[in-house]
Amino acid sequence: MAPKFLALACIRNEIYNGNLSPRPHYPSMPKYPKGVVIKDSIQGSEAKALFSVVGMTCSACAGSVEKAIKRLPGIGDASVDVLNNKAQVLFYPDFVDEETIREAIKDVGFEATLIKDEVNERSMRTCRLRIKGVTCTSCSRTVESALQGIEGVKKAQVALATEEAEICYDPKVLSHNQLLEAIEHIDFEAVLISTGEYRSKIQLKIDGVRTNHSMRMIENSLQALPGVQDVTIDPMIHKISLSYNPDETGPQTFIQVIESTGFGRFKAMIFPEGGGRDSLRQEEIKNYYKSFLWSLIFTIPVFLISMVFMYIPSFKKGLDAKVINMLTIGEILMWILSTPVQFIIGRRFYTGSFKALRHGSANMDVLIALGTNAAYFSSVYSVLRAALSEEFKATDFFETSSMLISFILLGKYLEVLAKGKTSEAIAKLMDLAPETAILLTIDSEGKVLGEQEFDSRLILKNDVIKIMPGAKIACDGFVIWGQSHVNESMITGEAKPVAKRKGDTVIGGTVNENGALHVQATRVGSESALSQILRIVELAQMAKAPIQKLADRISKYFVPLVIILAFCTWLAWFLAGKLNGYPKSWIPSSMDDFQLALQFGISVIVIACPCALGLATPTAVMVGTGVGASQGVLIKGGQALESAHKVNCIVFDKTGTLTIGKPVVVSTRLFKNMVLQDFYELVAATEVNSEHPLAKAIVEYANKFREDEENHVWPEARDFVSITGHGVNATVQNKEIIIGNKSLMLDSGIFIPVDAKELLVKTEEQAQTGILVSIDREVVGLISISDPLKPGVQDVISILRSMDVRSIMVTGDNWGTANAIAKEAGIETVVAEAKPEQKAEEVKKLQAMGLTVAMVGDGINDSPALVAADVGMAIGAGTDIAIEAADIVLMKSNLEDVITAIDLSRKTFSRIRMNYFWALGYNLLGIPIAAGAFFPSTGLRLPPWVAGAAMAASSVSVVCWSLLLKNYRKPKKLQSLEIRGIKVE
Just list the catalytic residues: 653
- How many whole angstroms separate alpha carbon 503 and alpha carbon 493? 23
Nearest to 359 by CA among 108, 62, 110, 78: 108
Measured from the Cβ of residue 896, the count of other Cβ atoms closer than 10 Å reads 21
Q: How far is CA 936 from CA 565, 583, 945, in A?
A: 19, 10, 21
Cβ 823 vs Cβ 809: under 8 Å: no
- How many whole angstroms separate alpha carbon 898 and alpha carbon 965? 19
> What's the one-letter identity of residue 704?
K
- How many whole angstroms separate alpha carbon 955 and alpha carbon 926? 14
Cβ 563 vs Cβ 601: under 8 Å: no
Nearest to 680 by CA among 708, 700, 709: 700
Cβ 367 vs Cβ 397: under 8 Å: no
- How many whole angstroms separate alpha carbon 151 and alpha carbon 173? 7
Cβ 853 vs Cβ 872: under 8 Å: no
Burial (CB count <10 Å: 0-12, 13-18, 19+), residue 608: buried
Measured from the Cβ of residue 75, the count of other Cβ atoms closer than 10 Å reads 24
Cβ 900 vs Cβ 970: under 8 Å: yes
Handedness of CA 955, 960, 966, 968 (dihedral sign): negative
Cβ 350 vs Cβ 411: under 8 Å: no
User: Is beta strand 75-81 parallel, antiparallel or unpaired with respect to 86-91?
Assistant: antiparallel
User: Is beta strand 633-635 parallel, antiparallel or unpaired with respect to 327-328?
Assistant: unpaired
The DSSP output letter for 272 is P
Helix (H), strand (E) at residue 69: helix 59-71
Helix (H), strand (E) at residue 192: strand 189-197
Per DSSP, helices labelled H in 308-343 are 313-319, 329-340
Q: Which residues contact 720 (CB under 8 A, 6 or more apart)?
A: 686, 689, 728, 729, 730
- How many whole angstroms separate alpha carbon 964 and alpha carbon 952? 19
Q: Which residues contact 610 (CB under 8 A, 6 or more apart)?
A: 58, 59, 60, 363, 364, 554, 555, 558, 559
The DSSP output letter for 457 is G
Name the β-bridge partners of 659.
789
> What's the one-letter identity of residue 964?
L
Q: Write phi, then psi, for 702 (nearest 5 degrees).
A: -65, -30
Nearest to 807 by CA among 965, 624, 681, 652: 652
Strand ranges for 271-381 from DSSP E: 322-324, 327-328
Handedness of CA 223, 225, 229, 234 (dihedral sign): negative
> What's the one-letter identity of residue 584?
K
Measured from the Cβ of residue 469, the count of other Cβ atoms closer than 10 Å reads 13
Q: Which residues contact 832 (CB under 8 A, 6 or more apart)?
A: 811, 812, 813, 814, 815, 817, 818, 819
- How many whole angstroms separate alpha carbon 317 and alpha carbon 330? 10
Find the angle CA(299)-CA(305)-CA(308) to the nearest 5 degrees: 105
For the chain, how many residues are written?
Answer: 985
